Amino acid sequence: MKLKNTLLIAALISLPINSALALDGEQLYNLKTCFACHGKDANSPILPIYPKLAGQNRDYIAAQMTDIKSGARANGQSAAMKGVMHLVSEEEIGAIADYLATLAP
Ligand code: HEC
């Protein structure tokens, strides 16, 4: 009982701290306007030639975002996306990639 209470208190104390520190990928996805082109569910892009992102491999997503941001990837329609990538830090790229990889494809 005592241990249970201690664990509960520990969980309550750590909750706000964790949510303040950890970046929320879902929130960032909306905040950084990703949804405007890739769809609210990351699976219904505004144009058929824009990619679906839901359920894609985490490291692949992060690498593509990094490369579109740096200009290393400049194929296809990437120019459309490059314009928003200055809003997204390396850390935020990681958090968004974590989130997108958890979605159902
Ligand atoms: C203005 C429209 C637009 C916005 C805003 C946008 N993207 Fe994109 N994104 C694209 C387009 C178009 C492509 C495909 C580029 C191409 O044709 O190669 C793309 C490609 C990608 C890819 C690579 C997909 C693959 O299969 O290789 C990822 C990952 C991605 N976007 C994530 C994001 C995230 C996360 C955000 C928000 C930070 C975002 N995009 C914002 C238009 C956009």
- 46-76 confidence digits (pLDDT tens): 999 999 999 999 999 999 999 999 999 999 9
Question: pLDDT per position in the chain (105 positions), as tens?
Answer: 566 666 655 555 555 544 456 899 999 999 999 999 999 999 999 999 999 999 999 999 999 999 999 999 999 999 999 999 999 999 999 999 999 999 999
Q: Which of 32, 6, 7, 18 is nearest to 92 (CA)?
A: 32
Q: Is the CB of 61 under 6 A from ligand 1?
A: yes
Q: Which of 23, 38, 52 to mutate to test the pocket of ligand 1 (most atoms within 8 A of CB)?
A: 38
Question: Architecture of domain 24-102 in CATH?
Answer: Orthogonal Bundle (1.10)
Q: Is 35 in the pocket of ligand 1 (CB under 6 A)?
A: no
Query: For the chain, what are the domain ranges?
Result: 24-102
Q: What is the token pair recorded at 81?
A: 């996306």
Q: Is 32 in the pocket of ligand 1 (CB under 6 A)?
A: yes
Nearest-5° angle of CA 13, CA 18, CA 19?
Answer: 110
Type of residue numbered 83: G
Q: Rounded to the nearest 10 degrees, what angle do helices 58-70 and 90-102 cross at?
A: 140
- Nearest Cα neighbor of 54 from 46, 44, 64 is 44
CB 88 within 8 Å of CB 65: yes
pTM: 0.86
Amino acid in the structure at residue 68: I
